[in-house]
Each structure stands twice: as structure tokens, then as C-alpha cells.
Amino acid sequence: MMKRFILVIIMMISTLGIYSFTNNALDAKKTSYASYYHDKFNGRKTASGEIFSNSKFTAANRTLPFGTNIKVTNLNNGKQVIVKINDRGPFHASRALDISKAAFDEIGDINHGTIPVEYEIVD
């Protein structure tokens, strides 16, 4: 009887631990690198079906849901911008975000192809 009770307690703790981990995983700040879209993508459809424009504040990410707003912070200078996820990518292992040229220019220098960033979901 005591073994069964301990087993139930362990299962409850494990379940609560997994539940709390999955809830906080989406809210956590993440660090990676960001690049920007080339002008050749202007006017093309994104994975969400929207027409891409380098003048809007949008971004691509492999896993975040379309329509998610994220705050992107340049780790070199502290500048921030809010972008909306409307595409999939980037397809380069070292980067988590492709952001529009307007958003990239807001927080960094477009003469550099990538910048180290921290990003988090905002409501």
C-alpha cells in the first residue's frame, strides 16, 4: 500500500513538472542570430499566404505560429523592434529569425548580414 502511494505521488510530481516546463517554454527569452530578407522576395507570397514586403515589420521562424508578435533585441546595441511572424525559415542552422529589411535596419546595420539577437513573444 505504501509503495502504491509513493508511486502515485511521484507520478503527480512528474506530471506537474512536465506541465510547468511546457507552459514556460513558449514564454522564455531565446537568443540566436537574425538575418534579413533580400529585396528579391518583395511581392512574393509567404508561407502564411501574405504578400511579403521588406518595408513591413515581419519575420520568419521555423516553429512560432503565424501572427505571433515577438520583440527582437539586438544584443550588440540594445535596440528593439516588434515583428509579426508570417513566414517559415530561416533554413540555416545558426539563425532563428529572418526579419524584414525595415525591421533589421531599425535595430542594426544592414551592411552586416546577421546580428546576435534575443527574442520573446509579446501580447
Q: What is the CATH number of the domain that holds 73?
A: 2.40.40.10
- Residue-wise pLDDT for 53-84, tens only, equals 999 999 999 999 999 999 999 999 999 999 99
Which tens digit of pLDDT belongs to each residue from 90-108?
998 899 999 999 999 999 9
Count of domains for the chain? 1
Q: Is there a domain that residue 11 lies in?
A: no
Residue 32 pLDDT exceeds 60: yes
For residue 15, what pLDDT band results from cuts at 50, 70 and 90? low
**Structural domain of 115:** 30-121
Phi then psi dihedrals of residue 60, to 5 deg: -115, 140
For residue 113, is it within any domain? yes
Residues ≥6 apart with Cβ < 8 Å to 84: 57, 58, 59, 67, 68, 69
Within a domain: residue 1?
A: no
In a domain, 18, yes or no: no
**Does the pTM exceed 0.95?**
no
Q: How many angstroms separate the first and last alpha carbons of the chain?
A: 48
